[in-house]
Amino acid sequence: MEITLKLFASLSDYLPATARRTNTLALDVADGCSVASVIDSLALPPRLVHLVLVNGEFIPPQLRAERCLAPGDALAIWPSIAGG
Look up the CATH number of the domain holding residue 36: 3.10.20.30
| Domain presence at residue 6 | yes
| Domain presence at residue 45 | yes
| pLDDT 10s digits, 11-53 | 999 999 999 999 999 999 999 999 999 999 999 998 999 999 9
| pLDDT 10s digits, 59-74 | 999 999 999 999 999 9
CA pair distance 48, 69, nearest whole angstrom? 21
In the chain, the number of structural domains is 1
| Domain presence at residue 83 | no
| Domain presence at residue 60 | yes
pTM of the model: 0.93
